[in-house]
Amino acid sequence: MSKLFECIDVSKTFTIDKSPIEALKKVNFDISLNSSLGIIGPSGCGKSTLLNLLAGLDDPSSGKIIYKGSYISSMTNDERAIWRNEDLGFVYQFHHLLPEFTALENVSMSLQISGVSKSNSFERSEEILEKVGLKERINHLPSELSGGERQRVAIARSMVNEPTCLIMDEPTGDLDTNNASIIIDLILNLIESKDISLILATHDMVFANLLDNIIDLSNG
């Protein structure tokens, strides 16, 4: 099976108050197309840092990250932006929806950035919002939605472009047990139906154990 991402001795060091802080140390793993990977470990172990490196939002201090055979570090900033918009879907623990726009408008923005017409972007956005169970809520503002509903909008937004890979940073961390269970089922059903790879940072071992593979950064 073809490799999607490959990390080779990936390390990341930040400098805080002139002191080096090692966030990641020689992380090695790969993930194949159409598979899922859970990244676990305690707070502060580098899970979010690793996701940012995989998405090309930052560069490793040393080591290499390869996406479909190409080094991410070789991409220009513009190339990375296009790649993220077309190939990746990113979901944070907190939804980061724009408060002045409806659910439909929030989801459709990435399509319009890609050059899709407003009417077509709205049509596709409405379809994915229906799949996440928000057909009756598409014209509501984020402030009019529950926490679980806002996270479902964020998931719809990340998947409307039908990305190759969905990257998620603690997507259930801010939800109660019932809503977390709903979101977990929703994510797994969506990635299976769309043949999308999933890379997920989580504290939720129930969720992590449902994925194909797990890497633990605790001892990194």
Q: What is the DSSP string of the chain?
A: --EEEEEEEEEEEEEETTEEEEEEEEEEEEEETT-EEEEE--TTSSHHHHHHHHTTSS--SEEEEEETTEEGGGS-HHHHHHHHHHHEEEE-SS----TTS-HHHHHHHHHHHTT--HHHHHHHHHHHHHHTT-GGGTT--GGGS-HHHHHHHHHHHHHTT--SEEEEESTTTTS-HHHHHHHHHHHHHHHHHHT-EEEEE-S-HHHHTTSSEEEE-TT-
Question: Token digits for 124?
Answer: 């596709």
Do residues 119 and 169 make contact, with C-beta atoms less than 8 angstroms apart?
no
Structural domain tally of the chain?
1
- Tokens 């379809």 found at: 127
Q: What is the CATH classification number for the domain harbouring 86? A: 3.40.50.300
Domain that holds residue 115: 3-216
Nearest to 5 by CA among 98, 56, 69, 53: 69
| Prediction pTM value | 0.85
Q: What is the pLDDT along the chain (220 residues), one digit of tens a residue?
A: 588 999 999 998 988 877 888 888 899 988 988 899 999 888 778 888 999 999 988 899 999 999 998 899 888 988 888 888 888 888 876 667 889 999 999 999 878 877 888 888 999 999 889 888 888 899 999 999 988 888 889 888 888 888 899 898 887 777 777 777 877 887 888 888 878 899 999 888 888 888 889 998 886 5
Measured in degrees and rounded to the nearest 5, phi and psi for residue 201 equal: -95, 130
